[in-house]
Chains A and B, each alone.
Chain A
Amino acid sequence: SQKIEQNSEALNIQEGKTATLTCNYTNYSPAYLQWYRQDPGRGPVFLLLIRENEKEKRKERLKVTFDTTLKQSLFHITASQPADSATYLCALDRGNMLTFGGGTRLMVKP
Chain B
Amino acid sequence: DVKVTQSSRYLVKRTGEKVFLECVQDMDHENMFWYRQDPGLGLRLIYFSYDVKMKEKGDIPEGYSVSREKKERFSLILESASTNQTSMYLCASRSDYEQYFGPGTRLTVT
Binding site for B on A (CB under 8 A): 8, 32, 34, 41-46, 49, 89, 91, 93, 96-103
Residues of B within 8 A of A43 (CB): 4, 90, 92, 101-104
Write the chain B residue with the least CB distance to A93: B97
Query: Interface 1/0s, chain B 53-81, versus A by CB < 8 A?
Result: 00010110000000000000000000000
Determine the distance from Cα of A64 to Cα of B95 in the docked complex, in whole angstroms: 21
Determine the distance from Cα of A100 to Cα of B37 in the docked complex, in whole angstroms: 10
Q: Does B31 contact A (CB under 8 A)?
A: yes
B45 lies within 8 A of A42 (CB) = no
Binding site for A on B (CB under 8 A): 4, 31, 33, 35, 40-45, 48, 50, 56, 58-59, 90, 92, 97-104
B42 lies within 8 A of A45 (CB) = no
- CB within 8 Å: A-B pair count: 50
DSSP class of A's interface residues: helix, strand, loop or mixed? strand
B40 lies within 8 A of A98 (CB) = no
CB-contact partner of A34 in B42, B45, B97, under 8 A: B97
B2 to chain A, nearest CB (A): 10
Write the chain A residue with the least CB distance to B31: A96
B48 lies within 8 A of A89 (CB) = no
A104 to chain B, nearest CB (A): 11
Determine the distance from Cα of A45 to Cα of B98 in the docked complex, in whole angstroms: 9
Determine the distance from Cα of A8 to Cα of B48 in the docked complex, in whole angstroms: 27
Residues of A within 8 A of B50 (CB): 96
